[in-house]
Amino acid sequence: KAGVTQTPRYLIKTRGQQVTLSCSPISGHRSVSWYQQTPGQGLQFLFEYFSETQRNKGNFPGRFSGRQFSNSRSEMNVSTLELGDSALYLCASSLVFQGPNYGYTFGSGTRLTVV
Amino acid sequence: ELKVEQNPLFLSMQEGKNYTIYCNYSTTSDRLYWYRQDPGKSLESLFVLLSNGAVKQEGRLMASLDTKARLSTLHITAAVHDLSATYFCAVLPSGTYKYIFGTGTRLKVLA
């Protein structure tokens, strides 16, 4: 059974550019969440989607946005990149109603470096 | 503000020794999760604790949950080098779908 797939694995961007990260959840999983991991701030929640609707949003500026498609695949976009956006971005998926009982399954992440 | 605090942040221990990692949280929640992360890798689910008094064991790791005290522990028995990793606890506050993660405990088991 395929896991959560994130692409690309690594990315280097310049300040001011924008970036789009992709996440394909486990087949049948309809809830997709995004997290940012940095050495200084740890793991922080960005947003969660179900059926193309954002149900929860973390405390990030509007430069961070996301969406989910009808096949449950999700993308997140960061515009006007700043050096502080350098991080590991993790995507996680779960079965909607079983999520709390099983937790979320995480992808391998996208390592974004902003120079 | 919702907080999840872990201690210790760093733990260096000898093989064969026992130790406990503590996870305190400030929100009302009956759901507590433990994850492991190896350097440069993603998060691997270890335990899902869903009720007060829940105890789960897998190999040399045992996790427990006391929702009244808002405390979870991850106990390591007779540590081995392969357990070296960073361990995170996470809370899923009631009515939400977002994890609040602890700061993580970086464990290093010395041979």
- Predicted confidence (pLDDT) per residue in B12-27, tens digit: 999 999 999 999 999 7
DSSP string, B54-79: -EEEETTEEEEEETTTTEEEEEE-S-
When the pLDDT of each residue in chain B is averaged and rounded to a whole number, the result is: 92
- Tens digit of pLDDT for each residue in A19-75? 999 999 999 899 999 999 999 899 999 999 998 999 989 999 999 999 999 999 999
CA–CA dist A17, A31 (Å, integer): 29
Q: Model confidence at A99, in pLDDT bands (50, 70, 90)?
A: low
**B56 touching A, CB under 8 A?**
no
Please give the sequence-ordered ranges of beta strands (E in DSSP) within A58-103, or none if there are none.
64-68, 74-78, 87-94
Q: Model confidence at B95, in pLDDT bands (50, 70, 90)?
A: confident
Structure tokens at B75: 């106990």
User: The tokens 């969660």 sit on which residue?
Assistant: A48
Average pLDDT score over residue span B20-38: 91
Contacts B42 to A, Cβ<8 Å: 90, 106-109
My answer on whether omega of the bond before B8 falls inside 30° of 0, hence cis, is yes
CB atoms within 10 A of CB A94: 24
**Shortest CA distance from B29: residue in chain A:** A100
Q: State yes or no: pLDDT of A80 exceeds 60.
A: yes
Mutation for testing the A interface, residue in B97, B101, B106 having most A CBs under 10 Å: B97
Pairs of CB atoms within 8 A across A/B = 52
Phi, psi of A100 (to 5 degrees): -65, -25
Partner-chain contact B99 A56, CB within 8 Å = no
- Specify the higher pLDDT residue, A100 or A46: A46
Residues 40-59 of A with CB under 8 A from B: 42-45, 48, 50, 55-56, 58
Q: Model confidence at B98, in pLDDT bands (50, 70, 90)?
A: confident
Contacts of A113 (CB under 8 A, 6+ apart): A10, A11, A12, A13, A86
- Tens digit of pLDDT for each residue in B51-85? 888 999 999 999 999 999 999 999 999 999 999 99
CB B100 within 8 A of CB B4: yes
